[in-house]
Structure 1
Amino acid sequence: MIKHSDHFHGSDLEKIEQIYRIKKEDITSFSANVNPLGISPELRKTLADKIDAITSYPDREYTSLRKCIGNYVNTDFNHIIVGNGSTELISLFIQIKHPKKAIMIGPTYSEYEREISLGGGSSLYYRLDEESDFNLDMKSLDNELKPDVDLLIICNPNNPTSSAIKNEDMRKILDICKQRDIFVMVDETYVEFAEDMNLITSIPLTEYYNNILILRGISKFFAAPGLRLGYAICGNEDLLKEINKRKNPWTINSLAVIAGEIMFSDEEYILRTKELISSERTRICNTLNKCDNIKVFPPVANFVLIKILKENITARDLFDNAIKKGLMIRDCSTFPFLDQQYIRFCFMSPEKNDELLKILLESLK
C-alpha cells in the first residue's frame, strides 16, 4: 500500500519503480496528462536528419520559430516570446512584475505559488466551488480582487479540475483587472485539448488588452516535455522588451527550435490528437457517469477529476489498485482544497483507457 507521505507527480516514474518494483517502461502514466499519440510522426521521421544543426548557434531572436508559432496560434509573431519551457517564462515574468500579492484561482498547479514566494511576494487562493463543478463565479471573484492585489493567475483549462473560463468571461475579468491595475497571467497548457478551443483561448484578447500574458508549451499536447520549449503571447510590447532584456541568450537549443517548427506545422497529427481526445473524453465520461459511487466533474481538457463517494475507499486505494497493474493515476490530495476523495487521470489510448476503467469500476462497486 502506498505510504501516506508518498505523492507522485506524473514524471515520478523512478520513485514508482523503486517502491513498487515495477519497471518504469512498463508503467502507463495516466498522471502526466501527455498526448497518448506520442510525438509528431513528422518529427520522428525528420529530426535525425537535422542533427548538424547543433554545430551552430540558433538565431538569437528565434524569428523563424516565432513566426511558425504565430501562424499556429493565429497572432502576430512580434507578440511571441519563447523560453526554456514555460517555467523559465513564469520566472522571468514574476521577476519583472515583482507582485507583492497574487491571487490564484484554485485548486491548481503549485509552481506559480513557488515563483511568487521566491520573488518575495505572497499568494492567496480564490477557491472554486465544487457545487458548481469548479466553474468560476464572476461576482465572487470581483469581490476578492482587492486594491492590494497586483496579479491574478489563471490556469485555463484548470489543472486538476479540467474546468475552463470562456473568453467572453475572460474579457470581463480583464476589464475589472485593468480598472484596478491588476495584471493577469493565463496558463493555457491544456487549451489545445478543448472541444472548441476558440471559445476558451484568450490569445485574441492580447490585441486589445495590455494587462495579460498567456503561457503555452509543447509538453502536454505535443508530448515533448524533454525538449523544454515554452512560449508566451502578450500584446504589451514594453513587457516583452523587458523580458527579452533579462532573458539569457540561446536558452532553446537548435534541435528544439527545429522540432518546434515541425510539430506546429504537423496538421494531420494535431487533428488526430483532437479527435482522439474528444471521442475518448465523451466515451469515458459516459461510462463513469453510470457509477453511483463517484462524482465526475465535466472535463474540458484531456483529463478528468473524480470524487470518490464510496465509504472506506480513498484515492490512495485506487492509486494502489491501478499501479499494481502498471497504470498510474493521480492522487489529488496534494492540491489545495482537495483531499483523499479525489483522483485525476488523463485520457490515453482506448485499450489502456478500458484497462483503467475496469480497475476503477471494480474497486468502486
Structure 2
Amino acid sequence: MKTKPKFHGSDLEAVEAYYHIPKEEIVCFSANVNPLGLSENVKKELAAHLDILSTYPDREYTSLRKAIAGYCQVDPAHIVVGNGSTELISLLIQTRKARKALIVGPTYSEYERELSLVGGTLTYYHLREEDLFRMDITDFISVLSDGYDLVILCNPNNPTSSALTTEEISQILDACKKTGCFMMIDETYAEFAPDIQAVTAMSLTGIYDNLMVLRGVSKFFAAPGLRLGYGVTSSAQFLSSLKLLQNPWSLNSLGAFAGERMLKDTDYIQRTRNLIQTERTRLVKELSDFEGIKVYPAYANFVLIRILKPGLNSSQVFDYLIEKRMMIRDCSSFQCLDGEYIRFCIMLPDDNTRLLNALGELLKRHRAV
C-alpha cells in the first residue's frame, strides 16, 4: 500500500499528485500567507519598472535598508537584507558556530536542519500544552545556565501561535547576556499580532548586542516568491562577520524595488491587520463552541487546535478537508508536539466560514458514529 506522505506548508503539487485533485481547486490554509495576495499598488509599480532588471542592485541596498529602518523604527546601519529570512537563518547559524544551541519548540524545522549542518549539540525547550504553549519565563531562564551559546525563538511561534511579550524577551536577553549567549528571534508572524509593539523585539535591538531579529515579506506581504528577508542587530562585529559569508547581490533588483514599495503601502498594511484581527477573533470564538476540540490563544495569522474526539486523528481531519478542497496542516510532523493537532491560517471570510462548517460537520458525524 502506498504510504501517505507528510505534507508541509504549500505542498500543493504533492497533494495534487497524491489525491488527484487539481491544485487550482484547493484553498490553501496551510501556507500562512496573507489571503489578500500581493498588493495591487506593488503590482502596478513592478510592471512599470521591469527595466531595472537590466541593472545591478545597489550592493549595500541603501534605499531598501532605509525603508526597513522606517518601517521597523531601527537604525539602518543595523540592517542586513537577504534572499529570504531562510538565507539569513543559515548565515546566522554558520557565523555563530554554536557549540550548544537551545531551540524553543515545537517550531519551524529549518532551525534544526541548519544547526545540524554546523555540528555542535542541539536541545529543545518544550513549551507545555497545559500552559497553552505559553513559556514559563522563570523556568526557561533557569535552563539557560546550562551553558548554551545560541537560543532560537520564533515569536509569535509556529505552529502554536503563542507569543512572548517584549518585556519577557528583555528578561531572557538579560539572562543570556550574563551567560554569553546570543539570541535569534524569528518574527515572521509578528506583523499579524493584535498589538505588534507588545510582542516585537525590534525596539530591543538597539539595547542588546546579543540579539538578531529576522523578518521577511513572504507571509504578511504575500510575496514568498520574492525571497526578501531582513535581519536587525546592533552587534557591528557579528554583522560584519555575517556579511563576509553572504554572497554579493543576494537580493535581486526587482526584490529590492518591490520591498521598498511594500513597506510603504500603508493602506494594504492596515487592510491586512483589520482582516486578520476580525477573522481571528471570529474563528477562535466559534471554534471554542465546538465539542471535541481544544482551541489555543492565537497571536499569529493561524490557529492551532487539538482533536479530542476518541478515534479521530489529525490525518483523518486532513483527508476529510482535502476532499472538500481545503488544505490545512496536519501537525504530526512537528517536533515536541505530542497529540492530534491541526493548524490552519486565516483566509478570506467566506473561505473561513467554509472551513468552520466542514470541521463542524466532521465532528458531528464522528459523534454520530
Q: TM-score scaled by structure 1?
A: 0.98
With over 3 angstroms needed to count, the CA separation of the structure-2 counterparts of 1:135 and 1:3, relative to structure 1, is farther
Q: How many Å separate the matches in 2 of 1:16 and 1:116?
A: 29
Residue number in structure 1 paired with 2:23:
24
Q: How does 1:1-365 map to 2 (within 5 A)?
A: 5-339=4-338, 341-365=340-364
How far apart, in 1, do the equivalents of 2:339 and 2:326 lie?
Answer: 19
Q: Secondary structure of 1:126's match?
A: strand
Q: Render the CA deviation track for 1:107-160: whole Å, top value 9, x for unaligned.
A: 000101111110112211101011111000012112211343111100000000
Contact 2:32 2:219 in 1 (8 A): yes
* Secondary structure of 1:140's aligned partner: helix
Return the alpha-carbon distance in structure 2 between the equivalents of residues 3 and 303 of structure 1: 31
Q: CA deviation at 1:329?
A: 0.2
Give, in whole Å, the separation in 1 of the partners of 2:301 and 2:14.
24
Q: Per-residue deviation at 1:339?
A: 4.0
- Aligned partners of 1:246 and 1:84: how far apart in 2? 13
Deviations 1:246-291 (A, max 9, x none): 2110111111111101111100000000000000000011100001
Residues 169 and 201, structure 2, Cα contact 8 Å, conserved in 1:
yes
| Aligned-partner residue type, residue 260 of structure 1 | G
The CA distance in 1 between the partners of 2:180 and 2:320, in whole Å, is 49
Counterpart AA for 1:363: L
Residues 57 and 285 from structure 1, CA distance in 2 versus in 1: closer, same or farther, beyond 3 angstroms?
Answer: same
- What is the root-mean-square deviation of aligned Cα atoms in Å? 1.2
The 10-residue stretch of structure 1 (191-200 or 331-340) with the greater mean CA deviation from structure 2: 331-340
Secondary structure, aligned partner of 2:324: coil
Q: In the aligned structure 2, how far is the partner of 1:175 from the partner of 1:273?
A: 34
Once the two structures are TM-superposed, the CA of residue 337 in structure 1 deviates from its matched residue by 2.3
Instruction: List runs of 5+ in structure 2 lacking aligned partners.
Output: 365-369
Secondary structure of 2:355's counterpart equals: helix
- The alignment-based identity, stated in percent, is 53
**Does the aligned pair in 2 maintain the 1:104–1:152 contact within 8 Å?**
yes
For the residue of structure 2 that corresponds to 1:39, the secondary structure is coil
Specify the code of the residue in structure 2 equivalent to 1:84: N
Cα contact 2:287–2:295 (8 A) shared by 1: yes
CA distance in 2, matches of 1:74, 1:248: 27
Secondary structure of the residue aligned to 2:205 is helix
Partner of 1:207: helix, strand, or coil?
A: coil
DSSP 3-state at the match of 1:146: helix
**How far, CA to CA, are the matches of 1:285 and 1:93 in structure 2?**
36
Q: How far off its partner does 1:10 sit?
A: 1.6
Q: Which consecutive aligned stretches of 4+ in structure 1 deviate over 3 angstroms post-superposition?
A: 2-5
